Chain A
Amino acid sequence: MLHGYLPAILEGLVLTLKVSALSLAIACVFGLIGASAKLSESRAARWSAEVYTTLIRGLPELVLMLLIFYGGQIGINRLADAQGWGYIDIPPFLAGVLTIGFIFGAYLTETFRGAILAVPRGQAEAGLAFALSRTQVLWRIVLPQMVRHAIPGFANNWLIMIKASALVSIIGLDDMVHRAGLAAATTRAPFTFYMAVALIYLTLTSVSIFVLSRVEARYSLGVKKVQF
């Protein structure tokens, strides 16, 4: 099947999935830090989170990726030079994952901020009244309840992120799109290979939509659905 290139494409799929999953984890970390900074009482924290989300959302993903990929490499080596560490090579995989995670962290910041605000204040106040610490209130009371409100935005960002992972082929990562390009060049059948890749992406997004709707249903147990 696919002129014998199916295993090669599937290896690329593994890389695509690795990039997407790791970026998602990094994006969640950035998103949570960003959301707590935006809701913090410190003006400096609010201000830097605002700069972060505005800058990232004002630029194309591809340009940010190229900027961080090439710029980060030079920046780190300047630092390494000054410290006398010698040349440091950032692998494209790390650069890609960090970049996508950093970009979608900005989008998740907004999602998480909205979700945290959607949890009634009384919940956190009650926790504090029961002498829980601020960290305990965050982890045991606010976060579990904000998940339900965060899922729709989270699902949206995950879908965009899977598709954005195709861009890592441009900075030289050996993902599905890159593999398809190589196979297309040798077999002269670009339509076949890009179509196959498109189908795999469509499967990934369809499965994600299904799973996330189940997760949302799970977290919405006990919440009455609006009846029209």
Chain B
Amino acid sequence: MDWKIVIDSLPLYVGGIRTTLVLLAISLASSFLLSVPLAVARVSPRLWLSRPVWFFTYVLRGTPLLVQLFIIYHGLAQFEAVRESMAWVLLKNAWFCAWLAFTMNSTAYTTEIFAGALKATANGEIEAARAYGLSGLKLYSRVLLPSALRRALPQYSNEVVGLMHATAIASTVTLVDITRVARDVNANHLLVTESFGVAAVIYFVLTFSLVGIFKLLERRFLRHLRTQSVGAAVARA
């Protein structure tokens, strides 16, 4: 292991980590905001609302993210109408394309996760809420969503880690993330441990930091579901 190369390339990796994290943060924020209303539409009994959402998630979950990114980044340039339009300023930018692809892809998976949690709501909870005169928006914002989003936390944390790993694909469209830095270091020095090995360690640390954050969130938001240990219950009695 050549530590000099690792130390020399450290500033590059720091930049790569920043790119990866920024991409993750902006994609997560936008996909979360889109997923909540889409999940509500997905579980709606009105077919004209739920069907299009089902179709959207089915298509995006049925195709590889790499191909989705290529369609947006390489594909859209095929049309002169796109190249002449106002949107071209954004669409020729790799950052924008990566953000758009990751947001759409993550929205599809997150919508299904939230919709699943909504469907798992106990019927009595809805009946009680209706009995208190809640309906429509209030029913969702006060009762259904707070409990469904909590219940979705464990699965949502998987999706967040998955999206973090998926950002490695951004390295194929000129973005200099952790993976791109590793590929460049490998290309320059032909040393695998110093390039992909270092990247692997960084991703590993990031993964377990995210897992840790979600453990804390679960402890905070799923406190009511934690089983009390027998010992503690006996001691209290």
Contact B196 A63 (CB under 8 A): yes
Interface residue? B208 (CB, 8 A):
yes
Q: CB-CB < 8 A to B63: which residues of A?
A: 163, 198, 201-202, 205
Determine whether the beta carbon of B169 is less than 8 Å from that of A184.
Answer: no
B145 in contact (CB, < 8 A) = no
Given contact pairs A59-B165, A63-B200, A71 touches B66 in the complex (Cβ within 8 A) = no
Known: A71-B193, A198-B71. A166 touches B66 (CB 8 A): yes
Question: Is the Cβ of A67 less than 8 Å from the Cβ of B196?
Answer: yes
**A194 within 8 Å of B (CB atoms):** yes
Residue contact A191 to B171, C-beta cutoff 8 Å: no
Q: Scoring B residues 50 to 80 as 1 if CB is less than 8 Å from chain A, else 0, what string do you get?
A: 0000000001011111111011001111110
Q: A60-B203, A201-B63 are in contact. Are A70 and B196 (CB under 8 A)?
A: yes
- Please judge, given known A-B contacts A70-B196, A166-B66, A201-B62, whether A60 and B71 are in contact too, CB under 8 Å: no
Contact check, A194 vs B207: say whether CB atoms are below 8 A apart: no
Whole-angstrom CA separation of A177 from B67 in the bound complex: 7
Q: Which residues of A contact B208 (CB under 8 A)?
A: 58
What string of 1s and 0s marks CB contacts (under 8 Å) between A134-170 and chain B? Answer: 0000000000000000000000000100011111011
Contacts of B75 in A (CB 8 A): 190-191, 194-195
In whole Å, how far is B30's beta carbon from the nearest beta carbon of chain A? 21
Contact residues of B between 109 and 159, Cβ < 8 Å to A: none
| Choice from B59, B77, B171 contacting A62 with Cβ under 8 Å | B171
Is the CB of A36 closer than 8 A to any CB of chain B? Answer: no
Distance, CA A62 to CA B50, complexed state (A)? 34
Taking the complex as formed, is B7 at the interface, i.e. its CB lies under 8 A from any CB of chain A? no
Residues of A within 8 A of B71 (CB): 190-191, 194-195, 198
Determine whether the beta carbon of B78 is less than 8 Å from that of A188: yes
CB atoms of A191 and B76 under 8 A apart:
yes
Near B by CB (< 8 A), chain A positions 33-87 give 55, 57-64, 66-67, 70-71, 74
Chain A: interface residue total (CB-CB under 8 A):
39
Instruction: Tell me if B172 and A170 are in contact (CB < 8 A).
Output: yes
Q: Chain B residues near A190: list those with CB within 8 A.
A: 70-71, 74-75, 77-78
**Chain B residues positioned under 8 Å from A213 (CB to CB):** none
A9 to B77, CA, bound (A): 21
Residues A168-189 near B (CB distance < 8 A): 169-170, 177, 180-181, 184, 188-189
Q: How far is the CA of A205 from the CA of B57 in the complex (A)?
A: 13
Given A60-B166, A66-B183, A70-B186: A191 touches B79 (CB 8 Å cut-off) = yes
The answer, among A58, A197, A201, A206, for a CB contact under 8 Å with B204, is: A58
B222 within 8 A of A: no
Q: Let me know if A60 and B165 touch, CB within 8 A.
A: yes
Query: Is B97 located at the chain interface by the 8 A CB criterion?
Result: no
B192–A71 touching, CB < 8 Å: yes
Contact residue among B62, B74, B79, B203 (Cβ-Cβ distance under 8 Å from A63)? B203
Verify if B21 is at the interface (C-beta below 8 Å from A).
Answer: no
Least Cβ–Cβ distance between B155 and chain A, in angstroms: 12
B183 touches A184 (CB 8 A): no
B28 within 8 A of A: no
Contacts of A74 in B (CB 8 A): 192
Cα A195 to Cα B76 in complex, Å, equals 10
A62 touches B182 (CB 8 A): no
Closest to A204 in B: B62
Verify B204–A55 contact, CB threshold 8 A: yes
A-B contact pairs, 18 of them (CB 8 A): A57-B207, A59-B165, A60-B165, A60-B179, A63-B179, A63-B203, A66-B196, A70-B186, A74-B192, A164-B64, A177-B67, A190-B70, A190-B75, A190-B77, A191-B75, A194-B74, A198-B64, A202-B59
Chain A residues with CB under 8 Å of chain B are 55, 57-64, 66-67, 70-71, 74, 159, 163-167, 169-170, 177, 180-181, 184, 188-192, 194-195, 197-198, 201-202, 205-206
15 A-B pairs besides A60-B179, A189-B78 with CB distance below 8 A are A57-B207, A59-B165, A61-B168, A62-B171, A63-B182, A63-B196, A67-B192, A70-B196, A74-B192, A167-B169, A170-B66, A188-B78, A191-B74, A191-B79, A205-B61
Which 8 A-B pairs give the minimum distances between C-beta atoms? A191-B75, A60-B165, A166-B64, A60-B168, A163-B64, A205-B62, A67-B196, A191-B78
